[in-house]
């Protein structure tokens, strides 16, 4: 059974940093795409970053580019999202999702292609 577990959310002041973790189990942690999504109250779930297990390359939405960094540690079956310079508008529930196997690089799967989702972790950024 594939499972994804997010952790690392919390309350932080604007300008601060948080690192989210997404630990996967039940699948081979090499040929995959892991995406990070977020959903603010009353808004649709939006994709903000993804990483390809094939080469470790990450992609970002414009809203987080330059502030967030995605990385993977395959030996620990974990993908991280380092979030810096946080803004109140970054407040949301953050989810990771997995599509496996996935062999492409340089392109993120669309939201509906992901097979597995974590339960989410809440990030609150105070002004």
Between the two ends of the chain, the Cα-to-Cα distance in Å is 40
Q: Count of alpha carbons within 13 Å of 60, Cβ hemisphere only?
A: 13
Please give the pLDDT value at position 7: 97
Give pLDDT tens digits for 24-72: 999 888 889 999 999 999 999 999 999 998 888 899 999 999 999 999 9
Q: How many whole angstroms separate alpha carbon 56 and alpha carbon 94?
A: 21
Helix or strand (DSSP H, E) at 34:
strand 33-39
- The rounded percent of the chain whose pLDDT value lies above 90 is 82
Count of Cβ atoms closer than 10 Å to residue 7 Cβ? 13
**Whole-number Å distance between alpha carbons of 94 and 87:** 14
Length of the chain: 127
Q: What is the pLDDT of residues 80-104, one digit of tens each?
A: 999 999 999 999 999 999 999 998 8
Look at residue 47 and give its three-state secondary structure.
Answer: strand
Please list, in sequence order, all residues whose beta carbon lies within 8 angstroms of the beta carbon of residue 62, skipping any fewer than 6 positions away.
none
CA-CA distances (angstroms) from residue 63 to 37, 67, 116?
12, 9, 24
């Amino acid at each position: 059974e594939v499972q994804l577990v997010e952790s690392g959310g919390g309350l932080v002041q604007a300008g601060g940093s948080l690192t989210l973790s997404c630990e996967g189990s039940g699948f081979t942690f090499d040929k995959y795409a892991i995406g990070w999504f977020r959903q603010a109250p009353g808004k649709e779930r939006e994709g903000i970053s993804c990483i390809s297990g094939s080469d470790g390359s990450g992609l970002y939405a414009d809203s987080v580019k330059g502030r967030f960094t995605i990385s993977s540690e395959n030996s620990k079956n974990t993908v991280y999202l380092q979030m810096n310079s946080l803004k109140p508008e970054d407040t949301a529930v953050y989810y990771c999702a997995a599509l496996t196997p996935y062999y492409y690089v340089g392109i993120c799967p669309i939201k509906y292609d992901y097979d597995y989702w974590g339960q989410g972790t809440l990030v609150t950024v105070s002004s």
